[in-house]
Amino acid sequence: MSAAPDAHDPVGRLLDLLDLGAPDGPDRYVVANPDRGYGERVYGGQVAAQALRAASSTVDAPLLVHSLHAYFIRPGRPGVPIVYAVERTRDGRSFATRRVLATQEDEAIFEVSTSFHVPEDGVDYQQPMATDVPSPAEAGNVVSFIPDDARPYLPMEMLELGPTEPRADGYVEATRRVWVRLKRPIGDDLAVHRCVLTFLSDMGALVAARAPVPELALERLMGASLDHALWFHRPMRADEWFLYELRSVSNAGARGLAMGTMHSVDGTLGVSMAQEALLRVRRP
C-alpha cells in the first residue's frame, strides 16, 4: 500500500531526493523513488533535478552548471527506483560537459546534457524584471492549478499573479506570473540551489505553454513535458522569493512552447527557461 504523504517537512523530503547516496559503480546512481500515493507519473522536475545532481557530483569546484538541455522520453513510474548513469563527455580548463541517462528497469525515461563553467568576469547586461509586478507582500495567496489540500505537502510557497492582459495585436507578455520560494532555508551551496531551481522550473511550465485563448481551458488538454532547457546566468537562491514569469510562444502540431525567466526580488535575472510540451485537445 502506498504511504500517505507527510506535510511535516516537505523541504527535507526534497533535499532527501537530491541526496543520491554513494555511487553504484563508476558515475552510476540508483536512487529510491518513493510512491507518495498520488499521481500516475513521477514529477518531471524531480527527475531533472536528480539528474543534474548526479552530473554535478562528477565535477569539481569551482565549476558550476550554467546550462542544461533535457528530453522527457517516457513517464517515470512512482515507486520504481531510477538509475542515473553519467557520461563524462569533456573536461576542460574552463568548461566541463556531462550527459546523464535516467532509466527505470532498463527503459530510458529521461536524458540531459549539462555544461559547467568556471566563474569569469565579463560584460553584465540583462533584461529587467517587469515594473508592474506586485511584490510578494502585495500578492495574493492563490495557486491556480494545485488543490488547496495538496499545498501543505509542497516544499515551496507560490503566490500566483495570473496572466497579463493581451494587447490589441494579440501579444501576451506573460501567460503565468508567480512568486516562488522554498518554505525554509537550505544553506549556501550554489550547486544545491541550482538543482532545486531545476526542480521548481517544471512546476506550471506546461500550464503556461498553452495558447492564451479562453476557449482552450486546461481541462480540455492532455499534456506532458517533452523537453526542457535552463540557463543559469547569476547566483540565485531557491529559498528566497523570485518571480517566475512565463509566456506562451507558439502552439502548433499539438505542441506548445513556453519561455520563462526567474528574477530575484531585487530584479536580478538568475535563470532563463524554455520548455516544449505536448498539448492535445481532448475530444468531446
* Nearby residues of 277 by Cβ (< 8 Å), 6 or more positions away: 205, 206, 209, 223, 224, 225, 226, 255, 256, 257, 258
Instruction: Using alpha carbons, list the distances in angstroms from residue 179 to 4, 125, 225, 266.
Output: 28, 23, 22, 13
Q: What is the reported pLDDT for 221? A: 80
Catalytic residue check, 46: no
- In the chain (284 residues long), the average pLDDT of successive 10-residue segments reads 57 95 96 75 95 97 97 95 98 97 97 97 95 89 70 88 86 92 97 98 91 74 92 98 96 95 98 96 78
Distance of CA 55 to the CA centre of its chain: 16
**Domain spans in the chain, listed from the N-terminal domain onward:** 10-119+133-281
DSSP state of 13: H
- Note the pLDDT of residue 146: 72
Residue tagged active-site, from 56, 115, 202, 264: 202
Least Cα distance to 30 among 50, 52, 3, 45 occurs for: 50
Residue 104 annotated as catalytic: no
The secondary structure of 188-221, three-state, reads CCHHHHHHHHHHHHCCCHHHHHCCCCCCCCHHHE
In this structure, which amino acid lies at residue 72?
Answer: F
Please provide residue 190's backbone torsions phi and psi, each rounded to the nearest 5 degrees: -65, -35
Catalytic residue of the set 46, 50, 201, 225: 225
10-119+133-281 folds as Porin (2.40.160)
The residue assigned the cell 541526496 is 19
Which residue shows C-alpha cell 486546461?
218
Residue 166: what are its φ and ψ, rounded to 5°? -65, 145
DSSP H helices, the chain, are 10-18, 44-56, 190-201, 205-209
Q: Dihedrals φ, ψ of 280, to 5°?
A: -95, 130
Whether 115 sits among the annotated catalytic residues: the reply is no
C-alpha cell at 20: 543520491
59, 98 in Cβ contact below 8 A?
Answer: yes
